[in-house]
C-alpha cells in the first residue's frame, strides 16, 4: 500500500509532503480507498492503522 501512497503523491504533485499535512489529504484518501478495496469490508480502526503504518513508513 505504500506504493499507492507514492503513486498518488507523484500524480498529485505533493511528493515529499508528510501524510499528516493538509496538502496530502487526497493521498491519504487514496491509501484509505486501497485498504477498503484490498481488505474490505473493514472497521474504521483497521483503516486508521493501515494509513498510520504508511505514514510511519515514510518518516
Is residue 19 within 8 A of residue 28, CB to CB? The reply is yes
For 28, residues 6+ apart whose C-beta sits below 8 A from its C-beta are: 19, 51
**pLDDT for residue 44:** 93
pLDDT-derived band of residue 7, with 50, 70 and 90 as boundaries? confident
The Cβ-side half-sphere exposure at 24, using a 13 Å CA radius, reads: 20
Q: What is the pLDDT of residue 2?
A: 67
- Can you say how many angstroms the Cα of residue 41 is from the centroid of all Cα atoms in its chain? 17
Q: pLDDT tens digits, residue range 11-56?
A: 878 777 777 788 888 888 888 898 899 998 999 999 989 888 876 6
22 burial type by CB count under 10 A (0-12 exposed, 13-18 middle, 19+ buried): exposed
pLDDT at 1: 59
Amino acid at each position: 500500500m505504500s506504493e499507492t501512497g507514492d503513486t498518488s503523491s507523484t500524480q498529485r504533485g505533493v511528493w515529499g509532503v508528510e501524510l499528516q499535512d493538509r496538502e496530502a489529504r487526497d493521498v491519504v484518501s487514496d491509501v484509505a480507498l486501497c485498504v477498503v478495496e484490498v481488505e474490505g469490508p473493514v472497521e474504521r480502526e483497521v483503516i486508521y492503522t493501515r494509513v498510520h503504518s504508511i505514514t510511519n513508513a515514510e518518516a
